[in-house]
Amino acid sequence: MGRIKIFDTTLRDGEQSPGCSMNLTEKIEVAKQLERLKVDVIEAGFAISSPGDFESVKSIAKTVRDCTVASLARCTKGDIDAAWNAIQGAEDPRIHVFLATSPVHMEYKLRMTPEQVLMRAEEMVRYAKGYCSNVEFSCEDAMRSDPEFLKVVVDRVIRAGAMVINLPDTVGYTTPDEMREMIEYMIRNVPDSDKVEFSVHCHNDLGMAVANSLAGVRGGALQIECAVNGIGERAGNTSLEEVVMALHTRPNLYGEQPRIDTRQIYRTSKLVYNIIGQTAANNKPIVGANAFAHEAGIHQHGVLANKLTYEILTPESVGISTNQIVLGKHSGKHAFETRLKELGYELTDEQILMAFARFKDLCDKKKTVTDGDIEALIIDAGVPKGTENYKFVSFAVSTKGRSGVEGTICLRHENTYLEQTYCGDGSIDSIYAAIDRIICPPEHTLDKFIISAVSEGKETLGEVSLKLRCGERTYNGHGLSTDIMEASIIAYLGALNQFME
């Protein structure tokens, strides 16, 4: 038994799923946060898949120092060359090679015989090894593969030099018992199994990805592949926050804990949700709004008597502060900075100054500023906004009875103030149309628009996440303000500024 490693695939399996795409700056921000979270491996992308993916893998490899950086590659020389070219600047680069091993994938997708699959896998692991000592091999659709055949594939790729053997449940089909048995079987029957680490990569089609990953660990797997907020193909991947907190809550069951700084979990989850323009379901474990709420009287009574009655983990352990009233308009920069440190944020002097200015601004608008508000400000500042080509100055809306709502917007572009008015169906519709009149962006649609409250009460900060589509490309926008119209404008401008870059 050794320490369990967390392999994060938010930027590859997560990012490739519909509605989760990110641009280069967004990916780099996520990678930096994953480094703060202390994942062991960041799968930064699939270098061959597009020039954009190649660039982002390369940039992440250069930026991140404290994690292994991996790129995915099919079993072809072109894929492996691209993967290596993208990751070679990393402190610890890894080439992640995969080939399907299940009968249905080999026959219909690859159109290869099992013997050809064996030879290709072995040959391509050797080829990858020529570049890089750290090579992982994944038997795609392992959990629907014949264990006897899988054993031979695993044996061959270990001989060819693979250091990590991943057995994915590609279609989310397996059960915890099967997963555990499969890993145990490989460890027992493959001659050099003790020289490599086994890994699990589970999809959540039947809602069992976390359970299956944990069962794999019970069977002897030492690496869990997962994604922040469980994003990924179809129903997603194993959720990082859930699997990590399951390990953390039951240490006696799973051996040595991963090195994750669990207090960074909430911040990481929020950052990813803000970037992809999604929010957690209220009942989402660990990061959902109700994950730590006790509503039923009998539960509240129990928790008041002793927290252990209904609470198996604390909000603080994942970085959610329960402190209500913290600082106000009379608090100085020093108190603000101290509170940020207590909340686990290490910011540069420049970031602190900017955050403090926004905090002061908020104090003028809101009587009580909570830890939640402060965290929302910091997380919002971490969401890349692109260049502020057009900057928000002011807006006004007035209802015109049956003829709709009149929206007026003022923006600053370079040193010129630009104003436009539009009469539309509602406030957002008219303001967005007025903005379009100023910027004249290409044809686009608003694919997603979510408004949510940061905390409780009428004074709460409102958050808007949206996604604009222009042809094949999507652009995310995020806005935060005590005024929901202002948050909507900031989010819209953020996305438009990116696509006018």
Binding site for ligand KIV (CB under 6 A): 13, 98, 138, 140, 166, 168, 170, 201, 203
Question: Which residue lies nearer to ligand KIV by CB, 181 or 205?
Answer: 205
Residue whose CB is less far from Zn ion, 13 or 79: 13
Which C-beta is closer to ligand KIV: that of 138 or that of 268?
Answer: 138
How far apart are CB 59 and ligand KIV at their closest, in Å? 22
User: What, of Zn ion, ligand KIV, none, does residue 138 touch, CB below 5 to 8 Å by kind?
Assistant: ligand KIV
Nearer to Zn ion, 16 or 193 (CB): 16
CA angle centred on 290, ends 202 and 448, rounded to 5°: 70
Sheet containing 445-453: give its strands across.
445-453, 462-470, 473-481
The residue (of 47 and 369) whose beta carbon lies closer to ligand KIV is 47
Of 114 and 404, the one with the shorter C-beta distance to ligand KIV is 114
Spatial CB neighbours of 497, under 8 Å, sequence gap ≥ 6:
385, 386, 387, 388, 389, 390
- Token couple for 232: 């990924």
One DSSP character per residue, 103-119 reads HHIIIIII---HHHHHH
Taking residue 145's Cβ as centre, other Cβ atoms within 10 Å add up to 25
DSSP for residue 421: E
User: Is 140 a residue that touches Zn ion (CB under 5 A)?
Assistant: no
Question: Which CB sits closer to Zn ion, 13 or 53?
Answer: 13
Min dist. Cβ of residue 184 to Zn ion (A): 22
390 binds, among ligand KIV, Zn ion, none (CB under 5 to 8 A by kind): none
The least CB distance from residue 231 to ligand KIV, in Å, is 13
Adjacent-strand bridge partners of 462 = 453, 481
SS (H, E, C) 124-180: HHHHHHCCCCCEEEEEECHHHCCHHHHHHHHHHHHHHCCCEEEEEECCCCCCHHHHH
Whether the Cβ atoms of residue 256 and residue 2 lie closer than 8 Å to each other: yes
Give the residue with the Cβ less far from Zn ion, 243 or 383. Answer: 243
Which segment (12-20, 26-34, 81-89, 358-366) binds Zn ion by CB under 5 A?
12-20
Closer residue to ligand KIV in complex, CB, 134/166: 166
Q: Does 13 sit near Zn ion (CB under 5 A)?
A: yes
- Contact region for Zn ion (CB under 5 A) — 10-18, 83-91, 319-327, 382-390? 10-18
Q: What tokens does 381 get? A: 């500042």
Sheet holding 416-424, edge to edge: 390-399, 405-413, 416-424
Which CB atom, from 205 or from 337, has the smaller least distance to ligand KIV?
205
Q: Is 44 left (phi over 0), alpha (psi -120 to 50) or beta?
A: alpha
Contact 226, 7 (CB under 8 A): yes
CB of 182 to ligand KIV, least distance (A): 14
From 28, 30, 29, select the one nearest 8 (Cα to Cα): 30
Q: How far is CA 69 from the centre of its chain?
A: 16
Give the residue with the Cβ less far from Zn ion, 101 or 488. 101
Beta bridge partners of 164: 136, 197
Is 223 or 474 the residue whose CB approaches ligand KIV more closely? 223
Q: Which of 56, 114, 120 is nearest to 89 (CA)?
A: 56
Measuring CA to CA, how many Å separate 489 from each of 70, 396, 407, 430, 460?
38, 12, 12, 11, 17
Q: Report the C-alpha gap between 478 and 469 in whole angstroms.
A: 15
| Shortest Cβ 144–Zn ion spacing (Å) | 14
Question: What is the DSSP code string of 404-420?
Answer: -EEEEEEEEETTEEEEE
Two tokens, residue 431: 């303001």
Residues that contact Zn ion, how many (by CB under 5 A) = 1
Minimal distance in Å, beta carbon 104 to ligand KIV? Answer: 13
Q: Nearest distance from residue 34's CB to ligand KIV, in Å?
A: 18
Q: How far is the CB of 174 from ligand KIV (least distance, A)?
A: 12
Question: Computed over its alpha carbons, how large is the radius of gyration of the chain?
Answer: 25
What tokens were used for 256?
């040595």
CB of 45 to ligand KIV, least distance (A): 12
Instruction: Please give the residue ranges that form the binding site for Zn ion (CB under 5 A).
Output: 13
